[in-house]
Chains A and B, each alone.
Chain A
């Protein structure tokens, strides 16, 4: 049981390049999330998907797009990377069953845009 898996773990991009961050969970969770974390700060929500087929903007969606490919996978795309997008990106998923809920996180992707 791998939990939440993010790829890649590290990435360096040049300004203007594009890339997709991948996230997959094998726990049959309904909701998935993408966050960014800048030095000394908490996690800010970029986009989330409450269920397969739906996506919603979070606090900081500008410059990003997402795809909920299926129940397992939720990808984050940077179409034209900017230095301001240098950050650590975390993916998460939550389940809800029998009135119980919990969030699980991937290990993060450290992205540097030069």
Chain B
């Protein structure tokens, strides 16, 4: 059974500091890992998608790494801004059976 864990559950940082969000998974037989952002009361916005053959993806201030063998992914957000305040979720697509499993999320607050 695939289990996905996100640590920490909540994070508060001053504006300008870099954010490091962690996602771990127990079964390394995956198609991909995807990071999402969710604002309160809203749907999910896809941030970065890392295919199983890739080790990292970058988009602007965001960088996500994937270490399949150790079952870990890290999302880095450089020079955080108050607008980065949201919940960040990672999801893993299992290779056999196509099951898509989410972590519990990390709630981020960036203080001005």
Contact = CB atoms under 8 A, between A and B. Distances in A.
B43 A101 contact: no
A33 B91 CA distance: 13
Interface residues of B, number: 24
B43 A92 contact: no
A90 B43 contact: yes
In this complex, the interface size class of chain A, counting residues with CB under 8 Å from chain B, is: 20 to 34
B100 interface: yes
B34 A102 contact: yes
Interface in A60-114: 90, 92, 94, 96, 99-108
A26 interface: no
Contact of B93 (A103, A105, A106, A107): A103
Contacts of A45: 99-102
B32 to A, nearest CB: 5
Contacts of B49: 102
Interface of A is mostly: strand
B99 A48 contact: yes
A101 B103 CA distance: 19
B100 A94 contact: yes
B105 A41 contact: yes
Contacts of B109: none
A31 B91 CA distance: 15
B98 A50 contact: yes
A108 B6 CA distance: 22
Interface string A32-64: 010100001111110010110000101000000
Interface string B81-92: 000000001010
Given A102-B49, A105-B43, A105-B44, A92 B100 contact: yes
Contact of B100 (A48, A51, A99, A100): A48
Interface of A: 30-31, 33, 35, 40-45, 48, 50-51, 56, 58, 90, 92, 94, 96, 99-108
Given A101-B51, A105-B46, A108-B43, 9 more contacts: A31-B98, A40-B107, A41-B105, A42-B89, A42-B105, A44-B102, A56-B99, A96-B31, A96-B98
